[in-house]
Chain A
Amino acid sequence: MKITVNGQEREAHAGESILDLCRREGIPIPTFCYHQAFGGQGACRMCMVEIKEDGQSRSRLVAACTYPLTKTAEIITESEQIQRIRRTIVMLLARRAGENPLLEELSRAYGAAHLPAITVEPANCILCGLCIHACAEMGRSAIWSMFRGVDKRIATPYDEASDDCMGCAACARVCPTQAIKVEEEDAVRKIWNKTFALVSCSRCGKYYATREELEYLSKHGDFGQQQLCETCRKKNLAYNIKTFQQ
């Protein structure tokens, strides 16, 4: 299927999204809520592009991440109209996360007007929903979006420590604005109002995982875990081979 992107002809697979095509062809499209592990959500609208499909008289704006390509089309990824939309999105998101380096940089790049900051919980959250997807992929779904409209925020049910949370912090690492706080000190990890006691390595005493994480792993299969940290697992293997050889 022939797709024209910014005047150049490209080959697309039927049904793939505009964003997938552009990423593969190395055409830059900015995104906040897209992650290759989950695909598009169409939440942040940063990836808006102009498309004119076969048989249409005029182009229209669609979110590149969720729009499947089904017929020959012409796509424009940069135009004054698109630039204006992105500038507005960045301007609005910068109110929530103005001090975040990513938003600071984008505000400069798009020349977005500076509006007074608003307080959001957790601080710097732009509601992209990546953390929710990450948690769901882990099979936990401990966090979700709560309330509606201006009160909408990401939280555990009733802001309480969730039984489903295992403290893996995947949510924090996929967050584009580092809004999710993970505190790790000595034997304790704190995230989403829950305090985890960390399990220590039986050889060197280093704290390396939460009990819940180990339970999660044991459900996925027996890989001969021995309550050892990564370094001690290497040492253990080396030691076994040494004893075997001598």
Chain B
Amino acid sequence: MSKVLFVEPEKCTGCRSCELICSFIHAGEFNPLRSRISIIAFEKTGFSFPAVCQQCSVAACMEVCPVGAISVDEATGAKIVNHAVCLRCKMCTIACPFGATFYDADHDLIIKCDLCGGDPECVKHCPSGAISYREAKTANYNKRRANAEKFREVMEEGR
């Protein structure tokens, strides 16, 4: 059963704890610039969105890689960069439609979310539960429920 990193922006407070823990775990320092996940905050409306790799089934980064340096982790389904094979041509960073694969110029590395090998740290440190790691099939059950709730309201109003 495959699990997904599921984000609920309506729960996100924009505290950026995920950015800090991600960079700490992967790069050994608290540096949002080296985090695989980033918070896009709309200050005026108070809306924050945790932007992270979607681990697409047909992944643009993987498709364009000329040397096959990006592969699928069998256990998690995450797309993993093999730095020893990677040429740093940066095609994946231009190809990713979500801007989730990028180049760390200071350390000469292509970096992207690897789901921490199946135990994402950002999930553990998100104080509001905006990021969760769950079964793909049931992940959006609450959304369906909320939609059904809206229907019920409309239908009752119609009576």
Interface hit among B23-31, B93-101, B116-124? B93-101
Contact A174 to B99, CB < 8 A, known contacts A37-B67, A245-B10: no
Q: A228 on the interface (CB 8 Å rule)?
A: yes
The residue that B94 contacts in the complex, of A173, A208, A239, A242, with Cβ under 8 A, is A208
**Are B99 and A234 touching (Cβ within 8 A)?**
yes
How many residues of chain B have a CB within 8 Å of chain A?
A: 34
Tell which of B70-78, B82-90, B126-134 binds the partner.
Answer: B82-90
Complex Cα gap A37–B108 (Å): 16
Interchain CB contact under 8 A, A173 and B87: yes
How many residues of chain A have a CB within 8 Å of chain B? 39
Residues of chain B within 8 A of A213, CB atoms compared: 91, 94
Q: A241-B49, A242-B47 are in contact. Are A137 and B95 (CB under 8 A)?
A: no
Is the beta-carbon distance between B9 and A242 smaller than 8 angstroms? yes
B80 interfacial by beta-carbon distance below 8 Å = no
The digit string for A120-150, where 1 denotes a CB below 8 A from any CB of B, is: 0000000000000010011100000000000
Q: Which of A169, A173, A230, A232 is the most central at the interface, judged by chain B CB atoms within 10 Å of its CB? A: A230
Q: Once bound together, how far apart are the Cα atoms of A221 and B96, in whole Å?
A: 12
Q: Is the Cβ of A134 less than 8 Å from the Cβ of B87?
A: yes
A225 to B94 Cα, complex, angstroms: 8
A residues near B, CB below 8 A? Answer: 35-37, 134, 137-139, 168-170, 173-174, 208-209, 213-214, 216-217, 220-221, 223-226, 228-235, 237-239, 241-242, 245-246
B residues within 8 Å of A by Cβ?
9-10, 38, 40, 42, 45, 47, 49, 51, 60, 63-64, 66-67, 69, 82, 84-91, 93-100, 102, 108
| Between-chain CB contacts (< 8 Å), 28 pairs | A137-B87, A138-B66, A169-B90, A173-B87, A209-B94, A213-B94, A214-B94, A217-B64, A217-B91, A217-B95, A221-B60, A221-B64, A223-B95, A224-B97, A228-B99, A230-B96, A231-B99, A233-B96, A233-B97, A234-B38, A234-B98, A234-B99, A234-B100, A237-B99, A238-B9, A242-B45, A242-B47, A246-B47
